[in-house]
Structure 1
Amino acid sequence: MRIGELATGTGVSVRALRYYEEQNLLTSERTPSGQRQYPDSAIDRVLLIQQLYAAGLTSKSIADLLPCVVNGEATPELLTRLAAERDHIDTRIADLTTARTRLNAVITAATTNLRTGQHCQRP
């Protein structure tokens, strides 16, 4: 498939796909006219890259981990690194959950104050 088709199939911009290639996260073949051609498996790979970015990994980390994740191979060092990334994500989730709880409390208090006619006074 061509780069535009991969972009459409994954929801990732053409620019991002080119960046993935620059970072050695994704590979393509070139047609005689110079257009990029991707295998059908590129869709799953791009979606995995997106998930790893969303988890907070850098392109360098993803490039190091991707071959092992895709091939299912794991060394003790890789498992340690993946566990550390997972722990980092767990910490971020806990922080976001705490922030959401606080926001919910503020929204509840503000809604109650509006119903009773009380308004926030600025200092």
Structure 2
Amino acid sequence: MRIGELARRSGVSERSLRYYEAQGLLPAQRSPGGQREYGEWAVDRVVRIQTLYAAGLNSRKIAQLLPCLRDEDGRPSEIATPELVAQLGTERERINGLIADLLRSREVLDEVIASAGGMDEK
């Protein structure tokens, strides 16, 4: 598939896809005319990249992590180093902290909404 179709199917801009390629996150084959071509695997790869960015990982960390994820055949592409596993454990703890903070914020909002809703009934 070409870059436009990948953008449509993954919900990511063509500009972002070009950036991913430049960062070594999304390899592309080139047609004889120089156009980027991707296999079906690319949609899943882009979704994973987006998820990792949303979690706060930078492109360097994502580039280290992607080879450790299962490939399109379901097999691990590469074994993660102990250092990478430790770094990812730290990232996971950071994300857990963010989730806890968001849950506390939601509880406060729930209290305010419930309190404000009670005021309307008086």
Matched, 1:94 2:97: no
- Select the structure of larger CA radius of gyration: 1
Matched, 1:64 2:64: yes
Q: Which runs of structure 1 show a deviation greater than 6 angstroms over 4 or more consecutive aligned residues?
A: none
What are the equivalent positions in structure 2 for 1:72-91 lying under 5 Å apart?
72-91=78-97
Matched, 1:16 2:16: yes
Q: How does the TM-score come out when normalised to structure 2?
A: 0.89
Provide the C-alpha distance between the structure 1 equivalents of 2:35 and 2:82, rounded to a whole number of angstroms.
40
Moved more, 29-38 or 97-106: 29-38
Q: Deviations over 1:66-93 (max 9, x none)?
A: 1123425122111111111111110000
The aligned counterpart of 1:32 is 32
Q: How does the TM-score come out when normalised to structure 1?
A: 0.88
Provide the C-alpha distance between the structure 1 equivalents of 2:7 and 2:64, rounded to a whole number of angstroms.
23
Provide the C-alpha distance between the structure 2 equivalents of 1:28 and 1:75, rounded to a whole number of angstroms.
26
Provide the C-alpha distance between the structure 2 equivalents of 1:75 and 1:60, rounded to a whole number of angstroms.
15
Provide the C-alpha distance between the structure 1 equivalents of 2:78 and 2:21, rounded to a whole number of angstroms.
22
Paired residues, number: 116
Percentage of matched positions with identical amino acids: 53
